[in-house]
A and B are shown apart, each in its own frame.
Chain A
């Protein structure tokens, strides 16, 4: 049982964030090498460095465990996959806002905004120099398998399959009703829309951040339905192609409210149980008396 690959597996299984870092890294390599994105390495280096340095600053300041740097790595990789800008300072701003928001906007020990999401929103709104390219992944079954398989593993680990599934089913049904049922396009048009890599990545890796989704399963279902409705509305009636980003930004504001109404166990990245779900999370938190949720 001490073979190296089992040791590697144990390392991965110890923390769901290890999986996230691994898969986001694979996506980045895929985008850069296979899809030939532009200017990847300089941009990514800047985003990752800024995220890590900012997180290190807060870790030091708040006396948190150093493993909180993993979260910054995930935020940084998420930004690498989504945020583009004409100038380095815009990227730095996005990354600083992303990390800073986790420490500055908190309610009851949870940060309010999805870090990568608020980083993108602020960079796009404030500078006019940043953008998101929803078409950069293209659309196709290979992407569904790649993102789906990777996403499923992470979701099983963090126990947020419900969030993704409800969002995708609700959004997909609404789009099916409109695109095929109402407008009369063929199924291939709908399939092309649903197999968009950006949508899949958003579904499996962004909205599922356990720290910014409601704690109670019932609340998460309601939250996901609302998110899907909003995404569909913004995309369909306002023709905003980056609708999921804006919808998530708005919906994050409702999470504290839903947590107030529906009580649920708060998530921790380092639970006592091996399956990584939230059951023992609060106990770990109480025992350690530290804020590990960064």
Chain B
């Protein structure tokens, strides 16, 4: 078998992206508030963290506004605007992937063609934004404007506050529409010593820049805290939201320390017809897995050493060239420029689906020395073509029949899809077998019942263990009691 075609999810889900990230978007006027999916690049090097927030804001840019808690007052040099292509490059490289293999015809001489195919800081001068009256006014609210910058198309303020009420009032009075429940999370952030990075768009500068879309903002700071403040982002969303985190370190994987980090199912053989709906396949797989893990785990989708100078494989198989040094630089990885040469770069892709109920805490992370490689990879196998009537060919078909049955089982287990209309996938192979062989086949099992309830969650998986523990406790205590009574 030879891998021939690779397909990443990013190509299929390219239009799915909606919204950024870990702070919240606050819209002015009546623009709809929503943030369903966000992407963040997170670089951690010692105490230094560089966070880049994608900006796929789809509404009218004049309504765009964003508030992000940051641990320190950022200097002008700590804020950059980066090209949004960085996100697509990282996404394409680390996305869950589909790989196709072609079986060879055992009745013919080995001959196959190899054909690999892949589907898939600018700053503007400071404007006359600074206004003394704004500072004076802010003081009345107990809010301090710690810094004020114009970066690219954005007007940025860094606010310090004494209490959440004043901050909330200041934001409201300055035209930021704050979700009603934001108040309860602003207070803990203020008391934790965080500052607020507040962003608006300057329409004039945006028109001058010629960019059609808002570009990602990158911030850098030194702090012991390695975290993403997701609670603020939940303030204007009642359901769950998705966030993709592209993390880079010098040493190894990034993992969450207050939620479980779990690999998504990978290296599974799935039926050929899944190719047409690979996007839907992965979405359903992810959702099912998320439910099975108790809706409160962080999913690992990719982990690999991607050091440009490192000669080893950076994926298996690769879906394209690894990120270029300039893309690393844009992402904030500043230790592997061509001038600096060596310096390992380890890439971790995490996918978090979070909601208020199951994610009460912000996400805290740690860098580990774990360099084990991982990718979310699904395998399609094209059958051999041509005359398969020879004995070896019939053996092959018989194996293929059972293999396809297993693929159907796998697909059902991964997605819970109703496959009753897809029996043709196995029947097609059966039809090519000689009558004698066909009669000798064991009846295939094709699951048809859709899953009930959508997964019991981790609590369900733990129940036998809890019962065992409680049973042992009762047994032990009962026996001890009996012993005391007898004694």
A contacts, CB < 8 Å to B: 6, 9, 12-13, 19, 22-23, 26, 30, 34-36, 38-39, 84-86, 128-131, 133-143, 145-146, 149-150, 152-153, 182-186, 188-189, 191-193, 196, 238-239, 241, 274
Of B141-149, B154-162, B183-191, B327-335, the one touching chain A: B183-191
Chain A residues with Cβ under 8 A from B105's Cβ?
none
B469 within 8 A of A: yes
B262 — which chain A residues lie within 8 A by C-beta? 35-36
Contact of A38 with B372 in the complex, beta carbons under 8 Å = yes
**26 interchain pairs, CB-CB under 8 A:** A9-B476, A13-B479, A13-B480, A19-B476, A34-B461, A35-B260, A35-B458, A85-B369, A86-B252, A130-B369, A133-B261, A135-B259, A138-B294, A141-B459, A142-B458, A142-B462, A143-B462, A149-B469, A150-B473, A153-B472, A183-B187, A185-B188, A191-B360, A192-B361, A193-B361, A238-B224
Q: Is the CB of A135 within 8 A of B257?
A: yes
By a CB distance below 8 angstroms, the chain B residues around A34 are 458, 461-462, 465
Q: A134-B258, A135-B258 are in contact. Are A184 and B188 (CB under 8 A)?
A: yes
Q: A36-B263, A140-B459, A153-B473 are in contact. Are A241 and B257 (CB under 8 A)?
A: yes
In the bound complex, do residue B360 and residue A188 qualify as a contact, i.e. CB atoms below 8 Å apart? yes
Q: Taking A9-B475, A9-B479, A239-B224 as contacts, is the C-beta distance between A84 and B368 under 8 angstroms?
A: yes
How far does the alpha carbon of A142 sit from the alpha carbon of B260 in the complex, in Å? 15
Instruction: Pick from A86, A138, A182, A274 the residue with the most CB of B within 10 Å.
Output: A138
Give chain A nearest CB distance to B308 CB in angstroms: 22
Q: Does B391 contact A (CB under 8 A)?
A: no
Closest to B460 in A: A142
Residue ID in chain A nearest B479 by CB atoms: A9
Give chain A residues whose Cβ lies under 8 Å from the Cβ of B366.
131, 134, 241
Asked if B52 is an interface residue, CB under 8 A from chain A, the answer is no
Q: How far is the CA of A30 from the CA of B261 in the complex (A)?
A: 16
B368 touching A183, Cβ below 8 Å: no
CA A133 to CA B262, docked complex, whole Å: 12
Q: Least Cβ distance of B356 to chain A in Å?
A: 9
Partner of A135, one of B260, B360, B468, B477: B260
- Which of B224, B372, B469, B476 has most A Cβ within 10 Å? B469
- For B91, the chain A residues whose CB sits under 8 A away are none
- Best-surrounded residue of A26, A130, A139, A143 (most CB of chain B within 10 A): A139
Could you tell me the distance between the alpha carbons of A39 and B188 in the complex, rounded to whole angstroms? 39
B256 interface contact, C-beta 8 A = yes
- Is B277's beta carbon under 8 Å from chain A? no
CA distance A141 to B351 in the complex (A): 24
Is A138 touching B469 in the complex (CB atoms < 8 A)? no
B111 located at the interface, meaning its Cβ lies under 8 Å from any Cβ of chain A in the complex: no
User: Which B residues form the contact surface with A (CB < 8 A)?
Assistant: 184, 187-188, 191-192, 224-226, 251-252, 255-263, 294, 296-297, 360-361, 364, 366, 368-372, 458-459, 461-463, 465-466, 468-470, 472-473, 475-477, 479-480, 483
Q: In the assembly, what is the distance between CA of A128 and CA of B251, in Å?
A: 9
Q: Report B-chain residues with C-beta under 8 Å of the C-beta of A189.
A: 360-361
Are A149 and B462 neighbours in the complex by a CB distance under 8 Å?
no
Question: In the complex the two chains form, is B462's CB within 8 Å of A131's CB?
Answer: no
Report the nearest A residue to B163, measured CB to CB: A184
Beyond A38-B372, A150-B469, 4 additional pairs, beta carbon < 8 A: A136-B260, A139-B259, A146-B462, A191-B360
The chain B residue sitting closest to A30, CB to CB, is B465
Q: Residues of B contacting A39 with CB < 8 Å? A: 372
- A204 and B275 CA atoms in complex are apart in Å by 50
A86 x B371 contact (CB < 8 A): yes
Residue pair A135, B255 in contact (C-beta under 8 Å): yes
CA distance A88 to B237 in the complex (A): 46
Chain A residues closer than 8 Å to B258, beta-carbon distance: 134-135, 139, 192-193, 196, 241
> How far is B459's CA from A150's CA once the two chains are assembled, in angstroms?
17
Distance of A87 Cα from B209 Cα, bound (Å):
51
Which of A38, A149, A241 has the most chain B CB atoms inside 10 A of its CB?
A: A149
The reply to whether A86 and B370 contact each other, CB–CB distance below 8 Å, is: yes
Task: Give the docked Cα–Cα distance between A136 and B260 (Å).
Answer: 5
Question: Which of these, A12, A128, A138, contacts B260 with CB under 8 Å?
Answer: A138
The answer to whether A241 touches B370 (Cβ under 8 A) is no
In the complex, what residue of chain B is closest to A133 when comparing beta carbons? B255
Rounded to whole angstroms, the CA-CA distance of A36 and B263 in the bound complex is 8
Which A residues are CB-close (under 8 A) to B476? 9, 12-13, 19, 153
Question: Are B297 and A138 in contact, CB atoms less than 8 angstroms apart?
Answer: yes
A183 near B191 with CB under 8 A, answer yes
- Chain A nearest CB from B267 CB (Å) reads 14
Q: Are B369 and A128 in contact (CB under 8 A)?
A: yes
For A90, give the chain B residue with the smallest CB separation. Answer: B369
| Shortest distance between the CB of B465 and any CB in chain A (Å) | 5
B residues less than 8 Å from A188 (CB atoms): 360
In the complex, A26 Cα to B465 Cα: how many Å?
A: 8
B361–A133 contact, CB under 8 A? no
Given the interface pairs A153-B473, A183-B191, the reply to whether A145 lies near B466 with Cβ below 8 Å is yes
For B483, the closest partner residue in chain A by CB is: A274
